[in-house]
């Protein structure tokens, strides 16, 4: 008995040491803030993982090796995600783990494969599969999983009451819980969300609320840009989504002493009144910005919509234009399956998809194809295709993506004003990127003067852990809960340029990305009712959901709306509207599509 207690104590002590080693690496190696008050939750979560492993392996030494490998791997991967995207690991990451491979290539991809494979290989080797007790343990764990799933709602409520939960501040959740407990609690939350799609009565009720202003197809701000002047029939539409594109001068002259954007871009953007697109994401998750642009509904979940929520074909912008005789083409020089684009692009109505395998990647920096080569190759493809009708040409660029690499063919042109390596690298990528854009626009507007051209950045660039440079440049608070509405708006705003053929650039103010499809259809002269009408913002309020919360902006102010202040104005207008939008989103993209009848 004494020997058993001694071995158990050594096992527990070993997991405690692994926990503190991981916490040290995360805090000092990744600059991720950890709450020292709740270290024991992190330890207990890791110990629970180790005990489950011991139950299967049935050997303390082997269990200690395997559980340590699993704990270290998950902790470091989680720290990397927080450092890059500002949010911790979630259950969705494990369903879409293949995307980790798409982010790397060469030796890095091989190394990543081994990092993920080692725990699986060790498990296969260490678990004594011939023992009946192992299979009984697996049956017990499976039954426990089914029981947890069946009682996920009361378990979620109990854990939220006992430990706490902030729906809009996942980093704080992780700091309070530790990784293992955080993943367990969020997995239970995910289980509790797997509910039946909205019923017809729910959809009808939501539609009734949203149709209160049924005569108002578009917001006043969009109606102001409409004109009765005749437009060319069946004109081409070009959508250019620029990777990590924003205005670096907004960081201030201390950080950006020299403007990396060319004067002709500044003049063009000024003609739009320096309009901005409000993106649903910061630093990553480009696919969510794409979904909004293509389908006209806001993303309100902290997940990649293309991967878990877009499950069926829907009349998104490409589909509607295809029905009108357009050839719908999507282009992105990355691996085709990244963010599930191969399936998602088909669901939204694209007829053709050009991905990495379809481009000559000679003119690249690392794996990132330069924009001028991308634009040129797409134009050549369209010309050679000799299409009988107009084209919907949707382009998602890749150059400008983290980690902003360079090479001798594209030397540095500008420098950051302070010691900030990522900012310096980004400024030089955007120097080339913006000039490629303006050269392409000059050719495009000359060759296709009637075309409707839409240009915007998908999200702000990642410039360091925990919002990096932005924290000091914009005087951001340490805690996301203290962000003002204006600060959240800064973190979601990218340049927006809409060129309406010969009418030129339009002044649109600030526009959520999910309102662009409605604008495109109206500018093309197709103003028949469509599903895009449902997301027309409430009168005098612009709504920008940002995971777990939303921004409610009026002409007078911009408010960060959280659970604690939804009763205040203008949150009391935007919050009920957003709840009905969520019903329709679920119905259209995962449910029975009653709202499309």
How many domains would you assign to the chain? Answer: 2
Q: Six-digit token pair at 570?
A: 């203008």
pLDDT, tens digit (0-9, with 9 covering 90-100), for 328-350: 999 999 878 777 788 889 899 99
Q: Taking all residues of the chain, what is their mean pLDDT, rounded to a whole number?
A: 86
Q: Residues 45, 61: one domain? A: yes
Judge if 183 and 256 occupy the same domain. no
Which residue, of 171, 193, 215, is where some domain finishes?
A: 193
- Residues 280, 184, single domain; the answer is no
Residue whose token pair is 């794996």: 367
Copy the structure tokens of residue 489: 């708006």
**pLDDT for res 335:** 79
CATH number at residue 492: 3.40.720.10
| Contact indicator for 307, 96 with CB cutoff of 8 Å | yes
Mean pLDDT, residues 245-255 taken together: 94
- Whole-number pLDDT of residue 168: 56
Phi-psi region of 468 (alpha: psi -120 to 50; beta: other; left: phi over 0): left
430 in the same domain as 346: yes
Residue 527 confidence (pLDDT) above 70: yes
pLDDT at 547: 77
Domain that holds residue 45: 2-193
Mean pLDDT of 558-570: 76
Helices (H), 164-238: 170-177, 179-193, 200-210, 220-223
Q: Residues 213, 182: one domain?
A: no
Is residue 122 domain-shared with residue 243, that is, in the same domain? no
One domain for residues 150 and 243 = no
The residues facing 396 across adjacent strands are 241
Please check whether residue 454 is in contact with residue 498, taking contact to mean a CB–CB distance below 8 angstroms: yes
Q: Give the model's confidence band at 43: pLDDT under 50 very low, under 70 low, under 90 confident, else very high.
A: very high
Is residue 170 domain-shared with residue 242, that is, in the same domain?
Answer: no
* Helix extents (H) in 272-370: 286-295, 305-308, 317-323, 341-348
Q: Please write the tens of the pLDDT for every residue from 12-34.
A: 999 999 999 999 998 888 888 78
Residue 353 has pLDDT above 70, yes or no: yes
Give me 241's structure tokens. 């989504």
Domain check: are 258 and 345 in the same one? yes
Which of 377-391, 446-460, 463-477 bottoms out in mean pLDDT, i.e. has the lowest? Answer: 463-477
Which of 193, 216, 248 corresponds to the end of one domain? 193
Other C-beta atoms lying within 10 Å of the C-beta of residue 572: 13
Average of per-residue pLDDT across 90-99:
67
Q: Are residues 119 and 262 in the same domain?
A: no
| Whether residue 170 is found in the same domain as residue 219 | no
**Do 349 and 302 have their domain in common?**
yes
Task: Give the DSSP H/E element, type plus range, for residue 37.
Answer: none
């Amino acid at each position: 008995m004494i020997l058993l207690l001694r071995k158990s104590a050594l096992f527990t002590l070993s997991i405690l040491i692994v926990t503190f080693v991981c916490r040290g690496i995360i805090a000092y190696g990744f600059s991720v803030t950890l709450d020292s008050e709740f270290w024991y939750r992190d330890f207990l979560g890791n110990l629970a993982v180790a005990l489950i492993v011991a139950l299967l392996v049935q050997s303390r030494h082997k269990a200690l090796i395997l559980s340590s490998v699993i704990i270290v791997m998950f902790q470091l991967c989680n720290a990397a995600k927080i450092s890059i995207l500002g949010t911790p690991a979630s259950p969705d990451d494990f369903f879409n783990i293949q995307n980790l491979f798409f982010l790397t290539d060469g030796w890095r991809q091989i190394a990543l494969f081994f990092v993920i494979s080692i725990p699986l290989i060790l498990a296969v080797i260490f678990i004594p599969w011939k023992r009946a007790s192992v299979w009984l343990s697996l049956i017990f764990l499976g039954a426990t999983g089914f029981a947890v799933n069946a009682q996920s709602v009361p378990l979620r409520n109990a854990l939220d009451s006992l430990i706490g939960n902030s729906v809009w501040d996942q980093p704080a959740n992780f700091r309070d819980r530790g990784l293992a407990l955080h993943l367990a609690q969020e997995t239970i939350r995910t289980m509790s969300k797997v509910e039946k799609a909205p019923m017809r009565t729910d959809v009808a009720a939501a539609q009734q609320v949203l149709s209160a202003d049924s005569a108002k197809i578009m917001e006043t701000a969009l109606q102001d840009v409409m004109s009765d002047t005749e437009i060319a029939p069946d004109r081409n539409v070009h959508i250019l989504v620029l990777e990590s594109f924003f205005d670096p001068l907004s960081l201030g002259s201390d950080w950006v002493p020299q403007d990396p954007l060319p004067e002709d871009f500044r003049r063009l953007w000024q003609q739009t009144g320096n309009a901005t697109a409000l993106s649903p994401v910061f630093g990553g998750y480009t696919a969510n910005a794409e979904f909004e642009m293509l389908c006209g509904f806001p993303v309100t979940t902290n997940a990649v919509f293309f991967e878990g929520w877009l499950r069926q074909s829907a009349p998104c912008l490409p589909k509607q234009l295809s029905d009108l005789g357009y050839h719908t083409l999507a282009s992105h020089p990355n691996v085709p399956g990244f963010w599930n684009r191969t399936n998602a692009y088909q669901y939204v109505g694209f007829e053709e998809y050009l991905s990495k395998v379809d481009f000559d990647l000679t003119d690249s920096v690392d794996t990132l194809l330069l924009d001028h080569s991308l634009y040129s190759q797409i134009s050549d493809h369209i010309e050679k295709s000799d299409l009988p009708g107009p084209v919907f040409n949707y382009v998602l660029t890749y150059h400008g993506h983290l980690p902003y690499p360079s090479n001798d063919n594209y030397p540095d042109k500008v420098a950051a004003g302070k010691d900030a390596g990522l900012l310096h690298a980004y400024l030089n990528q955007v120097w080339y990127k913006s000039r490629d854009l303006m050269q392409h626009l000059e050719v495009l507007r000359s060759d296709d003067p009637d075309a409707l051209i839409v240009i915007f950045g998908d999200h702000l660039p990642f410039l360091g852990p925990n919002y990096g440079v932005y924290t000091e440049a914009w005087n951001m608070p340490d805690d996301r809960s203290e962000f003002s509405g204006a600060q959240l708006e800064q973190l979601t705003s990218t340049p927006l340029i809409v060129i309406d053929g010969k009418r030129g650039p339009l002044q649109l103010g600030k526009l959520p990305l999910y309102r662009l499809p409605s604008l495109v259809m109206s500018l093309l002269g197709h103003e028949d009712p469509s599903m895009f009408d449902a997301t027309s913002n409430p009168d005098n309020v612009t709504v920008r959901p940002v995971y777990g919360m939303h921004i409610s902006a009026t002409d007078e102010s911009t408010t960060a709306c959280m659970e604690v202040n939804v009763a205040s104005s203008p949150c009391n207008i935007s919050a009920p509207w957003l709840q009905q939008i969520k019903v329709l989103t679920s119905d259209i993209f995962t449910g029975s599509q009653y709202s499309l009848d």
